[in-house]
Every structure is written in C-alpha cells, then in structure tokens.
Structure 1
C-alpha cells in the first residue's frame, strides 16, 4: 500500500509530442488500427499522424476557416471535418483526398459531427440551432434540418444506433434515429451543455459543461435521470469527454489545462495530465493504454495511462488518495489573452 501511494505521486512527461499545427488543436479522432490519429486545428488543416513513428502522414488542406470538429466513420472509410464558417468536407481515409467540394452545411459554426452506426449518414450540429443528416453515398442532405431551438454543441449516436443525443445551449435532447422523434429532453447542466459521450454498451450517457458548471454528469437511458452525484474536480469548462473501449475509464479535457482520468466505478480521479494551455479535445488509443489530447499550445500529446488504472478494481486501491500528476514540459503559454478571459466568460 505504501509503494502504491508513492507511485501515485510521481511526475512525468508525455510519451510523445506531435508538432505540425500552427494554431490550436480543436479536435482529435483515433483509427481502430491503433496506428493512425487525425487532428483538426484552427490553422484550417487536418493532420493524419502515424502514432508509432510520430510523423505526419499528410497535412490535409481545403478549409477556409478554423476547423472545429472531425470524425472518422466506423468502417474508417471516411473522415469528415467541419469549421467555424459552417463548412463541411468529406475525405477519403486511404487517399487522404477530399471526396467533396466544400459544402456550405450550416449558417453557423459546425461544432460537432458523428457518423450513424451503419455508416449511411453523417450528422452535423451547429450554432445555428440545427442538426442536419447527410448521405455518405451522395453527400446530399437527407430530409429537413432538425430544429433544436438552441445552439448545438455536441451530437453523439448511441452505440446501438437507435438514438441520437444532442447537447444544446439549454438542454440535452434524445431523438429516435429512424423517426427523428424527440423522446426526451432534460436540463443536464444550468447552461451550455458542451460535450457528450456514451458508454460502449449504451448503458450511460455522460455530459459536461462550462465554467458555470464544470462537472461531468451521468445519465441512465432507461429513465434519463441523473445517476449519482456530479463528478467534480475541474475548475474551468470541460471541453470534451471520452470513454475507453471497456467502459471502465473516462477522460475529460478542460480549460483548466488538465486532462483528468476517472474510474467509472467510483468516479475517482486516477491521474491528471497537465498541459501548458487549455485542452480542447481528448481520445483513448485503440488499445486503451494511451490518451491523445489536443491543446491551445498547438501540440498533440500522447500520454501513457498508469498501470494501476488498467488493473481490475480492488478494495485496497480505493484507499489510495494521492493523484498521479503527469506534467508536460514547461513552456510559455501561447494563448495568454485567452487564459485571462477564461475566468470570466465562455469562449468555445
């Protein structure tokens, strides 16, 4: 027990730093082959990385504005990216070339993208208050836009494909995918429901919010009631949340410059991965042994998950109160003005 506690106080640096973007990294998506990661940046480009070699396979250009969202289809055939000008591009994952011209998908910024479980549709969510569905065979709009009556910050299909969860400025809405019928809506957070993530088996939906309520909350899809107390620890808005493939760990990225690693069974923070600037996106590696994060400091970082977090939960481990602090190399913040503002206002 003493050795365990001691190991939880060690400090380290990322396994690897990826540098190619020239502005903040706003989005990250991992391929299931475990080797490739794609990132989207305010520099208007996507970078496709080789995780093992730590090199850029290709810098993908085509957007005319800062990229806000990216997603990889479940069959990994497509990459989709959306920007602050409401423009959408679909890419071929193998050739890394655009499959479409720029599509003016929305009048407001595209904040979120997700492919349906069967890969037939791409959903786009925007600050213009709508969600739109696009055919992945024609890249044409399917049906009318879904009016959410408030700015849309995140959209996530349930693993089964049965439901589409939509996080808006004022609430979280649950739609039946086939009929688009809204079967539930609830006020998950006081305001600004920023991020969503499903458990792999669909048994829980997680939500996160801004500095006004920098918590993570869990929701039961059978009742759409909150499960347990809010998860507290972050001190500024939570920009993104991710769940590992086994459904045992949750990672959250925040403007407090931290990624927190939580154990789902008891909502305990196992590790804090410390960055030099705001953290906008986070994902688990396919093998579940690493976390990939993107930050305002223009870097993509790969972190090793502590072995204690990968082991089966034991009563002895629950008594360990120390938190592992994993710290990136010290450097001058590249976004000081934004840091100053973040204490007073929401800056998505």
Structure 2
C-alpha cells in the first residue's frame, strides 16, 4: 500500500511512498518515475526547494535526498539505530531550509543532518522508558520541542541539540499523546490526547484548548495556520486562530458515517477535505458550512490526503492505487453527485427521482436526496434511530422503522401528517420491514415477532389497519429478514441462516433449505411466484413458492 504522499513543483508532480519505492507522477505528461533505492517501507516524505527536492525516511533506517526534476538521488544518510524491529521507527521529518538542516525523530532519538554535506549536526538520545510521542521544530525560537508519553515537555536548541529545559504538562492528567501539529506563527505545538484533550504546548507552558468526547485521531492546520481541524470518532471539529491560540469556528462538527482518518484544508481556506474508514471522502465548504462533494476513494480506509492548488490526492496503506481530483468549478463532474449513504438503508420514490436514507451523523433523521439536483432536498425528524426504510410508490408513503420499535409513516405529498404504528412491546427495536408488491400488506419484524398490517386506499391518504396477524417465531434466533405476499404468506429468515415460508391464514410454517450463514436479504418477484434469498456466505438462492423448492443457486464474489 501507499504510506506517504506529497505534492511538488507547482502541483505538477505527485510524490508517492510505498514499500521500498518512491514514485513520482508527472500530472502534465502522465508519466511515472520510479525511484527504487529504498529497501524498506517509506514512512515519511517532505518536499522543499520550491517543490524540486524531496527527502524520504524509510524503515531501512535511511534518509534519501532526491532531485524530483531529474529523478536522481543526491545522497543517502544512515540514520543510525540497530536493525532491531522493536526499535521505534522514524515518524517525523522537518526541513529547515534557512539553516540547511533536516531533523528526523522517532520515539528514542532525534537526529539533525546538514542538507548540503549529509554530515551529522547533532544526535539526541531519549528515555526508552518514556518515549517521545510528538516533536516540533519551532524555527522562530530556534527550539526543538518534544512531548513524551508521560506528558514531559522537553526543550532543546535546534542549532546544538543541547537541553534547554524540562517540565511536566499542567493541563493534562493521565492521558497519552496521540497526535500533534506545529503552528510556527504562534510558536506552539497543538497536541491531541487519548481521552479527547487538545492542549497548546509552548516553551512557556501549556494550556487546554478543548475537551473532545473521544480520543483525538489527527490534527491538521491550514497552510497559513489560521485554521485547525481535529478529528475524533466520526467527527471533525474546526478552530480559528486568535490572540490566545485558537477558538471554535463552527457550531457543528463535520460528520462521517464511519471513523474519520485524516483531513486537509484547501489552499484558499474555503474548503476542507476529510477521509474516513469506509473509503469515503467528503468535501466541505467552510463558508456554507456544508458538504459540496462526495468522492469515492480507492476502496480502502482513506489515511492519506494531499492538497495542491485545486488538486486533491487520496491514498491508503491498504491499497497500491491512488486517485487525484480537480476541485475547481471548471473541472467539476457534470454527473449528479452520489448520495451520501453508507448504511445500506435506502429507499427510492417518484420513479427513482428521490432517495431516502439515514442522515449522516444523525440517524434520528431521514435525508431526502434529489438525484437530479445532486443535493439534499429536505430531512425528516424521526426522534429515534432509523433501522429500515420502505416506500409505497403507488400510495406515496414512506415507512421508517425505528430502534424505539415505532414505525413512522410519512405521506410523501404532505410530510407533516405523520402516522404512528406502535410496537407490540415497549423498547422492542425493529429488525426489518417488508411491503407486498401490490403495496396492500406491510410486515414489521422484531426479534421474534412479526406484525402484518393491511394498507387500503383512502382520502386524503391510505388507511393502515391492523395488525391483521401477529406471528411469534418461537425460535431462539432472531429475525434477520422478511418478505410479505399479498395472500398473507411470508418468507422470513433468522440469524443462523434458517429460512421459512409461513402461511398466516392457517398458522403453518414450512422450512426451506437453510443457508449456511445469516440471510441478509429476501426479495419477492413481481408476480409473487418466486423469491430470492441472499446470504453472507456469498450465495443467492431462487425459490419456487408453489413447490417450496429452490430452482437454482448462484455463488458470487
């Protein structure tokens, strides 16, 4: 996979680091140059000299300086340390162009090297029992600042490597540093911690900036250091620089459906691009405070984002592929934007013109997505987490099954007139729902209970009667999927893969041949003569409901 990424030479070159290889992609000529001298995974890449030079750090314990225009290696530095695999690897590089020095840092040592001669300037050895977790070069103060696992802040001369002072952090108790980013203009290291604290650390002391509800996963600043982003859980919080450091910029967090992995600000500070564990990349407008684009990554967690001008690149250590997009208006895709769902709980109406799905970051709401416009048209408040959705296209009804056990029914032409179907028992979450093909029956499945209701035409909206039947499975396993037919037969599955055809009218259950794993979906044909079941072991089975036998099965990968 790809482990490091950076832009060079006016965003015309993209530098990629992977296992033993540095790759330089020429965006203008679509040519890739392979730099093959490393013998281990490239951990870090820094670009300097107006994008013409790069220095890389690898697991092979070397630093290598490259000319990106010629593709030639200028020199190699053996960065010391044994080849013991337990020794901490280099996790940070800092280039001081003014003094022609590169600093490399790991948990146990900091080395400084002359960029012209490759000679050592100094070495600093750390305490193996309390390794450094974060390091910054504060150029304006000619200072190196480190924060250890136990919260010890150490200050060193960036010219000589001599210790200038040590102190314990006062704003943090019993937390471990998880990430950090330096803010050169303020002379501070913004440090995130395991219990959600964010602290501003400087040579004069430290101050608590914010307390987040989860561990801080990453911290990034904009190019001009006026904006700070902190990732935690599934959220990103934005801060604006002020005289005391930073203050909160937006009242709401930016929410993903899965854990956020990384973020990068646009070069004009009008955008922030965030990536998450589910391979989803979101582009946010900081002025409109909302999503402007959704981008599909490389099919793996988005761990790396790099922004150069209007271009943004995405990569992951779990994939050898990378993607590049141009976010300028001139290059925006004319195709409708994909809707922002990662739950798989979707329904469509108006012949596919509208899509309904749980709102990202707030599953107590349902987003109504206009496919033609490629944007959210509205949202519906359900006051409880959405578990399943069904649309009756002919009756123009949206059914929302909730964790509370309630089904809320929204008439699509008058969404304020909500119908409530209560659960059979308090606090019983809904597992799944099903509408018959003629939209005259509704099945609501809980752990081991199914309600069957009738839907009949009415004015001003259809009438929902029932339950006509209440069915108890009397099985130890819980219901995983259900499909209802107009004649009050139903096909249902339970979590161990067992599949049944049940006739409500005479209370008879007929076992169908079981799947080997959990059945994820059951779907009835339009004439209700066939049913297909799909399981988590990659098997689809087609059943004849008259004979109660399977016609054929399909494996898929």
Shorter-chain TM-score bucket reads 0.5 to 0.7
The residue number in structure 1 matching 2:153 is 131
In the alignment, is the contact (CA less than 8 A) between 1:253 and 1:259 conserved in 2?
A: yes
Within a 5 Å distance, the mapping from 1:84-163 to structure 2 comes to 85-101=107-123, 103-104=125-126, 107-118=129-140, 120-147=142-169, 148-149=172-173, 150-163=175-188
Change (3 A) 1:270 1:47: farther
Q: What do residues 169-225 of structure 1 show as CA deviations (whole Å, max 9, x unaligned)?
A: 1210124x352242x33223x33213212234443211123xxx1332202344733
In the alignment, is the contact (CA less than 8 A) between 2:297 and 2:315 conserved in 1?
A: no
The residue number in structure 2 matching 1:196 is 219
- Structure 2 length-normalised TM: 0.44
User: 2:240 aligned to 213, 217, 220, which one?
Assistant: 220
The residue number in structure 2 matching 1:71 is 94
In the alignment, is the contact (CA less than 8 A) between 1:69 and 1:110 conserved in 2?
A: no
Q: Distance in 1 between matches of 2:75 and 2:321?
A: 15
In the alignment, is the contact (CA less than 8 A) between 1:235 and 1:256 conserved in 2?
A: yes
In the alignment, is the contact (CA less than 8 A) between 1:72 and 1:78 conserved in 2?
A: yes
Q: Distance in 1 between matches of 2:275 and 2:35?
A: 19
Within a 5 Å distance, the mapping from 1:288-307 to structure 2 comes to 288=309, 295-296=316-317, 304-306=324-326
Specify which structure has the higher proportion of strand. 2
Tell me the secondary structure at the aligned position of residue 227 of structure 1.
coil
- Structure 1 length-normalised TM: 0.67
Q: Distance in 2 between matches of 1:216 and 1:142?
A: 35
Change (3 A) 1:81 1:178: closer
The residue number in structure 2 matching 1:174 is 200
Q: Distance in 2 between matches of 1:241 and 1:30?
A: 19
User: 1:27 aligned to 44, 55, 62, which one?
Assistant: 44
- Larger relative contact order, structure 1 or 2 (CA cutoff 8 Å, min sep 6): 1
Q: Distance in 1 between matches of 2:329 and 2:186?
A: 29
Change (3 A) 1:186 1:256: same
Q: Distance in 2 between matches of 1:198 and 1:228?
A: 19
In the alignment, is the contact (CA less than 8 A) between 2:260 and 2:274 conserved in 1?
A: no
Shift of 1:306: 0.7
Change (3 A) 1:307 1:221: closer
The residue number in structure 2 matching 1:41 is 58
Change (3 A) 1:224 1:52: same
Q: Distance in 2 between matches of 1:18 and 1:130?
A: 41
Q: Distance in 1 between matches of 2:137 and 2:273?
A: 21
Q: Distance in 2 between matches of 1:236 and 1:110?
A: 26
Q: What do residues 270-289 of structure 1 show as CA deviations (whole Å, max 9, x unaligned)?
A: 5747447666555445xx36
Q: What do residues 60-82 of structure 1 show as CA deviations (whole Å, max 9, x unaligned)?
A: 32243422222223636222222
Tell me the secondary structure at the aligned position of residue 142 of structure 1.
strand
Change (3 A) 1:102 1:173: closer
| Unmatched runs of 5 consecutive residues or more in structure 2 | 1-24, 82-86, 340-557
Within a 5 Å distance, the mapping from 1:256-335 to structure 2 comes to 256=278, 262-266=284-288, 268=291, 270=293, 272=295, 274-275=297-298, 280-285=303-308, 288=309, 295-296=316-317, 304-306=324-326, 308=328, 321-322=337-338
Change (3 A) 1:272 1:217: same
Number of matched pairs: 296
In the alignment, is the contact (CA less than 8 A) between 1:281 and 1:293 conserved in 2?
A: yes
Change (3 A) 1:194 1:70: farther
Q: Distance in 2 between matches of 1:249 and 1:51?
A: 28
Shift of 1:118: 1.1
Q: What do residues 84-116 of structure 1 show as CA deviations (whole Å, max 9, x unaligned)?
A: x42221222233443223522664454433221
Shift of 1:234: 6.9
Shift of 1:295: 5.0
RMSD: 4.1
Tell me the secondary structure at the aligned position of residue 321 of structure 1.
coil
Does the alignment pair 1:185 with 2:228?
no
- Range that drifts further, 161-170 or 47-56: 47-56
Change (3 A) 1:265 1:257: same
